[in-house]
Structure 1
Amino acid sequence: MPEPAEHPAYPVGLRLSGRRVVVIGGGQVAQRRLPALVAAGADVVLVSPSATPSVEAMAEAGEIRWTRRRYEEGDLAESWYVLVATGDTEANARASAEAERSRIWCVRSDDAEAATAWTPATGRSEGVTVAVLTGRDPRRSAAVRDAIVEGLREGSIAAPHVRARTPSVALVGGGPGDPDLITVRGRRLLAEADVVIADRLGPRDLLDELPPHVEVIDAAKIPYGRFMAQEAINNALVEHAKAGRSVVRLKGGDPYVFGRGMEEAQALAEAGIPCTVVPGISSSISVPSAAGIPVTHRGVAHEFTVVSGHVAPDDPRSLVDWQSLARLRGTLVILMGVDKIGAIAAALVSHGKDPATRVALVQEGTTAAQRRVDATLATVAETVRAEEVRPPAVIVVGDVVGVGVPTLP
């Protein structure tokens, strides 16, 4: 018999793979519950004269077996678990009585007090199953479930692995600077990390949220010795991973947009270390957006080009075709170009770009220190000096700089 209401349900995880499960009724309740039973590998038998189109499709696909009639005594034979979900109260009671006599755990959608089992509100995140029971308050169960699953996914609830793990590294794009703009997956991997090797341009506020045991390494302060800076960082990633630690390489923006992420991925592959790459929101798009600048706009710009400005146009190491860029009618976004903007503007003008072309510099974009400085190609070098614009700053060149949101009354 069901336990008295004052006694809590005993939580347990049923392993139903290959075991017979009977579902009586093919309506909306069955439609919601069947996918999880199928995913658990159960041998599901549906007993019902009719079914919703979705349930019928599951039967046609061979995911469940369908007996097209009403419940009859003996239908529960050899079953391990039963879900009774019809609109016929008398049939539900008879099926529930058979389950009781046969000592089969039985869920009843119409009468929780008459059931011998309750279905929790469940959710999953990266191999973790969350199941919540709050007695006869299913909405509260669902709300608690959602809060826990969201916390696991975004990393605000830490659930680190404690058993031995395969050495691995995650290259995580942290976004443009605002800690809320990192991806959900990136934040979760940070919460699971043992070691975080962080760039100066990564979202620094996220580091304050890490547990005390996490080792945070400033990539700029890794001893280089006889190594180049990037080589030393690659070696640190490999060494910490081989020591059995969960390593996150936290970068600003996206790992593969001027972030040298592929060099790190290649070094890890050569060392036999599995590597996960988590894309990030690139500052080339997000920072102009935060400053009210769309990189494309109907009737203004149908293209945008992103280039690195860390090498001057007249430097023989430059791989940028500035002459072609000057002929483009769309938006030009320049990263890492503050100290070279004078030479860049001169090169664009010399190749035919109008000196009156508008330019915006957005410093510390998406952070509390964000500021925007406007100029033209003709004035930008002097403006940068006068306004003391400092890196990091994203530079936008083109007519979109003049596109703004109308002021509301």
Structure 2
Amino acid sequence: MDDTKFMHKGSRRYYLANLALFLAGFVTFASLYDFQPLFPNLVQEYGITPAMASLSLSVATFSLAFALPFSGSLSDAVGRRPLIFFAVILAPILALGAALHHAFSGMLFLRLGQGIILAGVPAVAMAYLNEETEPDALGAAMGLYIAGNGMGGMSGRILTAWFTDLNGWRWALSTMALLCFACGLSVCVCLPASRNFTGKTFQPKALLMSMADHLKNPGLLRLYLIAFCCMGGFVTLYNYVTFRLIGRDFGLSHTQVGLIFLAYAFGSVSSTVMGNLVNTCGRRRTLSLALGIMTTGLLLTVGSGLWMVILGIVIFTIGFFGAHSVASAWVGRLACHSHAQASSLYLFFYYMGSSISGTIGGTIYHGWAWPGVVVLVLALMAMAFIISLDIPSAQHRSGPPSPHAI
């Protein structure tokens, strides 16, 4: 392959691609998670239970989980840019429809479609960067894309909470949809054309056989189950701590509650620290440490003081990001082939944990309030720890893990 076709650091194409994919990551995760701070509003608006309200997030992560393993292979056939463009333009349009739809069932249907469409970004953006960027500049480009993911996930939650206090939750979601649509248009204008893409025939049967082979790998299967437990516990905590903070215990505003998502900044630092700690302590010990940190933070949220609850959320978030960074990188070390597919399966279990535990947690919160949610998440942490004790230590060469965000 001609080296002149690569995007070189400092070139105009390189900066445009970085900007475009940063915005694409922002659109993906702002659109996906902007409903999370609004569960109490949905309960009040529609007269539904917390578990029903959580479906506004769970159906989107559920459909995203199922679409992710296939979207990467689909992009091999149709191209990277068309799939990214389709996702960043259509997803905000569906988001606007969900914000304005007055039937809860119709809103859920639109969110289901949104999750499927958004799968066109996480599974494809990394492939685009790997194909188009010179090796020496790939790390920086990938880091900026992941930063866009994190910024979108955090900003989507915080801005939605802030806009809700200003003029109501429908206006907040509509504003976020228009902001994401503007970002999507910018992606379409800025993302350079592919120069190194070579189309391949989409082969669903071969894809399914490859995924089945990964699921037969005992080490990978254990890591997938850990992803299910950790992400399930993480989303469950954030889904329902909102009810407690807004409710009679503390009576905070949406804007004040939205600030808890700033804990993600601590989590981002934790990812780097835990990644470096692996070299000293090993993966298994580092993962156990991260799970212990999550458990400590979880138990602190039972406290009656606001400072203790906030501290617990921050500590829990630090532990989660650490566990996630160790487990997702470990997948690449244990996969014997098709590393992108192995990482896609990790994401499948990751988001399935979010969908299933995130919804079950609502039923438990409705019956047993916050202590019940803590017991559920504690059970997930215990399962993750037990599973982690028996992960094989065999290592295989691999490429870099797929970027994930929450």
TM-score category, normalised to shorter length: under 0.3
Structure with the bigger RCO (C-alpha within 8 Å, sep 6+) is: 2
Structure 1 or 2: more strand by fraction: 1
Higher Cα Rg, which structure: 1
Higher helix share: 2
Structure 2 length as normaliser, TM-score? 0.22
TM-score by length of 1: 0.22
